[in-house]
Amino acid sequence: MLKTSKNTLDPSDWQDFRQQGHRMLDDMLDYIEHLRERPVWQPLPPEVRASFRQTIGDEPLDLAAAHDLFMQNVLPYAVGNTHPGFMGWVHGGGTPVGMLAEMLSAGLNANLGGRDQAPVELERQMVQWVRELFGFPQTASGLFVTGTSMANLIGVLIARTAALGIGVRQNGMPSKPRLSAYTSASAHISIARAMDIAGIGSGALRMIPVNDLHQMDVDALERAIAADKQAGLTPFFIAGTAGTVDAGAIDPLNVLAEIAQRENVWFHVDGAYGALGMLAKDIAPRLHGIERADSIAFDFHKWGQVPYDAGFILVKDGALHHSTFASPAAYLKRETRGMAAGSPWPCDFGPDLSRGFRALKTWFTIQVYGAEKLGQIIANTCALAQHLKRRIEAEPMLELLAPVALNIVCFRYRSADADRVNADIAVALQESGIAAPSTTTINGQLALRVAIVNHRTHAGDIDALVDATIAFGKSISGREPL
């Protein structure tokens, strides 16, 4: 019998390792099955926080002991987005299926940068499915990335190439033409960061005011474009949003597409979570115009419930996408046979040469649950938001602060010192473990922001949030609200 070499990281006793692996898997399945018995979130005790300040050690730790430390010091103090009461930010809840697929991916340890391999073909299958979902042509390209922040950056870089030509990659930004870009005041900060990283500068991004529905004001957009052209600038990029961060609004995508086409400007859609509303029959019509985008950025790890991370960028002009990133190198030489076949590779469409197998957990999620079921989950989160809206409108102590477009609800507890009281309510709710909303500012007023994304959330969780908000509000304000 062959003995395991001492210069390997494989276990010396596979049977013992297998037993420990089953224990670790069972512990995580137990965790997911019994989420409701746990608080949504709890703060780290000082001693737990201090345990992460140790210096690196030379001596190995038994796998079982390391697992026990994880169960004791990590698992109980995560942010809690798997929990049905997590409503603070647009985080998907993940699924047991996705978790198992991630295990398979880790075991395979495939580098999805390229080479002729089945994992790359599976990612290409996912690109095809996404093309079909958004009505894009066969020539469209797509790529899994960490998240929409990276996808937005890729969208800006491709638009920059479209405006300035491929020479910008070698020569950098010219002094002329001076580019200008446009998005709404409610857009995600990653759009401005993308402009910064791309070397164009966040100062070239015009933040267009929003209307009463928190959508981009298209008249203000057209005025801004006209003013920039008059000043000698070259408009090159419009970013619409499908599901804004604060209120979940959808910009008038079809109108933005018309303006972009008329002005010969790249039309990008930041659909971080809202774009996957295309899976829901009652939400998809509200995304009319998204099919006209030049590029779409979104996350499967939000409404798609795929475990983190699984962002995606879809680009209508696949050839332009390729020319924006493809780089010849001897170690990346392509062949027609052997492992170096199968060009173009995923690394030709983004900045990463080393890429994880994000496509697998997404593929498993869609295969096992089906697109129709995922669409129903999306529709249900929006229905729950309407339930919360009705509860708020029925409670004289509460006040709705923004229209409920999709699955995000912004409201507050009425009080003479409302900003302070609601900030304290948010923390009290989080620390109670009952529910975890976040806060934002709507029309200058601090709001409790509830994002209903988790497939595990039901009406009882919404009712518990409302009841706890009123109870904490009374306690914190010290008197009946105005």
Give per-residue pLDDT as tens, 379-406.
999 999 999 999 999 999 999 999 999 9
Residues 430-446: what's their mean pLDDT? 96
pLDDT tier for residue 335 given thresholds of 50, 70 and 90: confident
CB 339 within 8 A of CB 119: no
Mean pLDDT of 222-233: 98
Which tokens belong to 108?
A: 């395979």
Alpha carbons 461 and 198: distance in angstroms, whole number = 42
Q: Quick one: pLDDT at residue 4?
A: 54
- Give the pLDDT confidence score for residue 480 in this predicted structure: 47
Average pLDDT over residues 185-197: 97
Rounded (10°) angle between helices 358-369 and 118-134: 60
> Do 117 and 233 meet the contact criterion of CB atoms below 8 Å apart?
no
Q: Tell me the C-alpha distance between 415 and 393, whole Å.
A: 16
Got the DSSP string for 221-290?
Answer: HHHHHHHHHHTT-EEEEEEEEBS-TTT--B--HHHHHHHHHHHT-EEEEE-TTGGGGGGSTTTGGGGTTG
Residue with tokens 């001492």: 6
Question: What mean pLDDT is reported for the chain?
Answer: 96
pLDDT at 339: 86
Q: How many CB atoms lie within 10 A of CB 398?
A: 21
| Bond prior to 39 in cis (omega within 30° of 0) | no
- Domain(s) labelled CATH 3.90.1150.170 in the chain stretch across 13-41+78-93+371-482
In this prediction, residue 331 carries a pLDDT of 74
Q: How far is it, in rounded angstroms, from Cα 440 to Cα 80? A: 20
| Terminal Cα distance for the chain, rounded | 80
100: CB partners within 8 A, 6+ apart = 364
User: What is the per-residue pLDDT for 6?
Assistant: 78
Across 441-465, average pLDDT: 97
Q: Do 311 and 298 contact (CB within 8 A), yes or no?
A: yes
Three-class DSSP category at 351: coil
Q: pLDDT at residue 330 above 70?
A: no
User: What pLDDT score does 5 carry?
Assistant: 67
Least confident among 52-61, 95-104, 222-231, 433-442: 52-61
The yes-or-no verdict on residue 171 having pLDDT over 80 is: yes
Per-residue confidence (pLDDT) for residue 329, from 0 to 100: 79
Q: Give yes or no for residue 465 having a pLDDT over 60.
A: yes
Task: Using the structure block, give the residue that is written with the tokens 């994002």.
Answer: 451
* 86/464 Cα distance (integer angstroms): 12
Quickly name the fold that domain 13-41+78-93+371-482 has.
Answer: Aspartate Aminotransferase, domain 1 (3.90.1150)
**How confident is the model at residue 3, as a pLDDT?**
55
Torsion angles phi and psi, residue 60, rounded to 5: -70, 155
Query: How far apart (Å, rounded) are the C-alpha atoms in residues 258 and 224?
Result: 16
HSE-up of residue 334 (Cα within 13 Å, Cβ side):
15
Q: Is the pLDDT of residue 228 over 80?
A: yes
Q: Which fold has domain 110-369?
A: Aspartate Aminotransferase; domain 2 (3.40.640)
Q: How confident is the model at residue 57 (pLDDT cuts 50, 70, 90)?
A: confident
Q: 481 pLDDT exceeds 50?
A: no
Q: Distance between CA atoms of 411 and 440, rounded to whole angstroms?
A: 10
- Can you list the pairs that 254-257 forms with residues at least 24 positions away whose Cβ atoms lie under 8 Å? 254/288, 254/289, 254/292, 255/218, 255/289, 256/216, 256/218, 256/221, 256/289, 257/289, 257/292, 257/293
Domain with CATH 3.40.640.10 in the chain: 110-369
**H/E element holding 207?**
strand 205-208
Place of tokens 């959508």: 215
Burial of 262-296, coded b for 16+ CB within 10 Å and e otherwise, reads ebebbbbbbbbbbbbbbbbeebbebbebbbbbbbb
- Whether 482 shows a pLDDT value over 50: the answer reads no
